[in-house]
Amino acid sequence: MARNAWFETVAVAQRRAQKRLPAPVYSALLAGSEKGTTYADNTAAFSELGLAPRVADMSSERDLSVTVLGMDLAMPVLISPTGVQAVHPDGEVAVARAAANRGIAMSLSSFASKSVEEVGAVTDKLNYQVYWQGSRDTIAARLDRARAAGVKSIILTLDWSFSNGRDWGSPNIPEKLNLRAMAEFAPFAITKPAWLAEYLKRGTLPDLTVPNLVIGDEPAPTFFGAYGEWISTPPATWEDLAWLREQWDGPVMLKGITRVDDALRAVDAGMSAISVSNHGGNNLDSTPASIRLLPDIAAAVGDQIEVLLDGGIRRGSDVAKALALGAKAVMIGRAYLWGLAANGQGGVENVLDILRGGLDSAVLGLGHSSVRDLSPDDLWIPPGFTRRLGTHVG
Ligand SMILES: Cc1cc2nc3c(=O)[nH]c(=O)nc-3n(C[C@H](O)[C@H](O)[C@H](O)COP(=O)(O)O)c2cc1C
């Protein structure tokens, strides 16, 4: 572990991650498609919202806890699924341990580098994220595997439309870290000795396979092999969603909602939760920031479904703003990835402590004793801030 490993904000963790990671790995995390308009708006929109603090009659105790997807969480923050490789050798197991230690839920991507069994062994608050990939039988078999590993809820992510191309250049990620790829990758890796040392300490190199897409005794497919299966699967229909709903007797979240009409259809399809999300700005560039879309969606669905938000959360006050605008909880992506890259499990715990401290400070400053009391009255919302997509009001 590095000396002075503690960091005080997520921005510091990001700078450390950039210093520590090989350039292609860092840029795979940064992502953001095309011009990065959505990626930038996700964080910029939070800065446009003002807080309306009070000065007296404040509460000396605050309750940050919340129940989401049937799980009691110590604060309204969940780990969002990210299919990333080679950030840290302990990968999603380190993230899940940190989440468990801080009393929040882990969500594991089906493109993760660690198996659902390994992650299920360290947390009992586990969601498993699937894309619409493969035949119904294949999907059902993967759900069976997740159920056996102790997964409580399924997150179905449907907003990915295989957009590619970034104005700042996509990273060159090898299919496998064989000798040829290592030779190409070496100039990046040898300038990052701390990152490489974490792997070498464990006698391993990033293997770039996706263990959760295996059924039975097959070998794990490569990241790109699995991507091939996904891209050649016909996109899901609303009937497919209803079918998936029947396959899982616990909560199911639909992630990637941006439109009011889709949010209402998710209610009709029997979903337990939605996440208002644009995939962290990684997919269709020019989709508005998810926080701009939240108020109209939350108002339209009311309490028929749990509403979460992800995209752009970097501070505890961002969590407060999202809750004030109607989210029950938020999910974080890059914030914990920067922490993981900077300092493994301790770095993720550090990020969660930053968010908790910032949220507690906001709830205190806004004069509340519980996160459940946050409302639009706590904010200054600039005229024209919100965006409403989808015309059907229901
Ligand atoms: C590198 C990276 C990989 C991601 N992989 C997945 C994934 O496998 N499945 C998924 O549902 N979302 C994935 N996402 C999206 C996140 O779950 C989340 O929606 C997004 O990161 C939220 O924005 P934020 O990073 O600003 O917090 C990924 C995001 C990033 C940055």
Output the pLDDT for position 197: 84
Catalytic residues: 279
Alpha helices (H) in the chain, listed in sequence order: 10-20, 23-30, 37-48, 91-101, 116-120, 136-148, 179-190, 193-201, 223-231, 238-247, 260-268, 290-301, 316-324, 334-365
Mutate to test the pocket of ligand 1, among 41, 78, 82 (most ligand atoms within 8 A of CB): 82
Name the residue at shortest CA distance from atom 5 of ligand 1. 82
Name the pTM for this structure: 0.95
Output the pLDDT for position 173: 64
Output the pLDDT for position 186: 64
Ligand 1, closest atom to CA 111? 8
Which tokens hold the place of 354?
A: 């930053």
Number of C-alpha atoms within 13 angstroms, CB side, residue 109? Answer: 20
Output the pLDDT for position 393: 45
Task: Say if CB 194 and CB 20 are below 8 A apart.
Answer: yes
Q: 111 CB less than 6 Å from ligand 1? A: yes
Output the pLDDT for position 195: 82
Q: 27 CB less than 6 Å from ligand 1? A: no
pLDDT (tens place) for every residue of the chain, 394 residues total:
446 899 999 999 999 999 999 988 898 888 789 999 999 999 999 999 999 999 999 999 999 999 999 999 999 999 999 997 778 999 999 999 999 999 999 999 999 999 999 999 999 999 999 999 999 999 999 999 999 999 999 999 999 998 878 888 777 666 665 656 656 666 666 677 888 888 888 887 777 789 999 988 888 888 888 889 999 999 999 999 999 999 999 999 999 999 999 999 999 999 999 999 999 999 999 999 999 999 999 999 999 999 999 999 999 999 999 999 999 999 999 999 999 999 999 999 999 999 999 999 999 999 999 999 999 999 999 999 999 999 754 4
Instruction: Quickly tell me which residue has 């920067």 as its tokens.
Output: 338
Q: Which residues contact 339 (CB under 8 A, 6 or more apart)?
A: 7, 10, 13, 98, 347, 348, 349, 350, 351, 352
Classify 108 as helix, strand or coil: strand
Q: 158 CB less than 6 Å from ligand 1? A: no
**How many whole angstroms from 173 Cα to the centroid of ligand 1?**
17
Classify 310 as helix, strand or coil: strand
CA–CA dist 84, 92 (Å, integer): 9
Name the residue at shortest CA distance from atom 30 of ligand 1. 82
Beta strand 126-130 with 106-109 is: parallel
Name the residue at shortest CA distance from atom 8 of ligand 1. 83
Residue count of the chain, please give it. Answer: 394
Name the residue at shortest CA distance from atom 10 of ligand 1. 81
Q: 24 CB less than 6 Å from ligand 1? A: no
**How many whole angstroms from 280 Cα to the centroid of ligand 1?**
6
- Smallest Cα–Cα separation from 133: which of 218, 214, 236? 236
CA–CA dist 307, 384 (Å, integer): 22
Ligand 1, closest atom to CA 281? 23
Phi/psi for 335 (5° steps) reads -55, -45
**How many whole angstroms from 247 Cα to the centroid of ligand 1?**
25
Name the residue at shortest CA distance from atom 7 of ligand 1. 82
**How many whole angstroms from 281 Cα to the centroid of ligand 1?**
9
Q: 314 CB less than 6 Å from ligand 1? A: no
Output the pLDDT for position 79: 98
Q: 258 CB less than 6 Å from ligand 1? A: no
Q: Which residues contact 334 (CB under 8 A, 6 or more apart)?
A: 14, 29, 30, 280, 314
Ligand 1, closest atom to CA 39? 26
CA–CA dist 78, 107 (Å, integer): 7
Name the residue at shortest CA distance from atom 2 of ligand 1. 82
Q: 277 CB less than 6 Å from ligand 1? A: yes
Name the residue at shortest CA distance from atom 4 of ligand 1. 82
Beta strand 50-51 with 306-310 is: unpaired
Output the pLDDT for position 179: 56
Domain boundaries, the chain: 10-50+66-360
Beta bridge partners of 157: 255
Statement: 10-50+66-360 belongs to CATH 3.10.20.30: no
Mutate to test the pocket of ligand 1, among 42, 114, 282 (most ligand atoms within 8 A of CB): 282
